[in-house]
Amino acid sequence: MTIDAIRTVGVLGAGTMGNGIAHVFARSGYNVVLRDVETRFLDHAMDTIGKNLDREIKKGKVEEGEKPKILGRIHATTEMSAIARADFAVEAVPERLDLKLSVLREADSVLRPEAILASNTSSISVTTLAAATSRPDRFIGMHFMNPVPVMVLVEVIRALQTSDETFQATMTLCERLEKKPVAVNDAPGFVSNRVLLPMINEAAFAVMEGVATAEAVDAIMKLGMNHPMGPLELADFIGLDVCVNILEVLYAGFGDSKYRACPLLRKMVAAGWLGRKNGRGFYIYSQ
């Protein structure tokens, strides 16, 4: 698949990451097939994309007349068969190996043989995911950052099987989205989460052990280390359940106790305190 042959993109999953990925592809002129299992997820995604476009219009990043054109490029559907026309597809379902494998295998069976299939996984082995498809040489990791329309980084992860042609096409595609692709090789957590999650985890241990409050930990990292967000604010933004899932992947992948998820994080997830997305994590948010 050459870069100029990529005109229609499938996005599998319409959650926070999926709707953001659909947004940036449509904004860059690509036709998008956005697929999820229920209409209500798709309705929420389209509403979110519309609101995010309104913010970009207010900031002068998008012309007001472009909004209906961008939204018009996105076809929302519950039918997996609709992605058959995609030249490139990105899986963006929750960070669970069983779920990703199920969705990727189904998508693989529908896509044309020459189409490239990517995963937005933030920690799971891209080599393992590639091996579950019939196109391991045309499979790649494409880890967007949240919020996708704002953050410029895409961590591009080569599976052991990824061909040079697939890698180059994906790197160029990122640039056409006005993103900055950074290439890494396949290892648990890649670079972003291998470095970030231990910091979040250690911040949670500091709170659990009574070293400081969440507010104090975050203030120290913001004021002393010049971080725009404290690690616990960021954990709430990511989702505490997602943080625990990624830590479990790191712990299983390296077998090193330094990646053991903090018991406080596990307890908060068990209580349903997941962060911003449901109103309570280390902080309380208005609905």
| Catalytic residue set | 143
Query: For residues 95 and 242, is the Cβ–Cβ distance under 8 A?
Result: yes
Measured CA to CA, the distance from residue 197 to residue 100 in angstroms comes to 21
Q: What strand order describes the sheet that includes 31-35?
A: 74-77, 31-35, 8-12, 88-91, 116-119, 139-144, 153-158, 180-185
CA neighbor of 181 nearest in space, from 168, 194, 190: 168
- Crossing angle of helices 214-225 and 231-238, in 10° steps, is 110
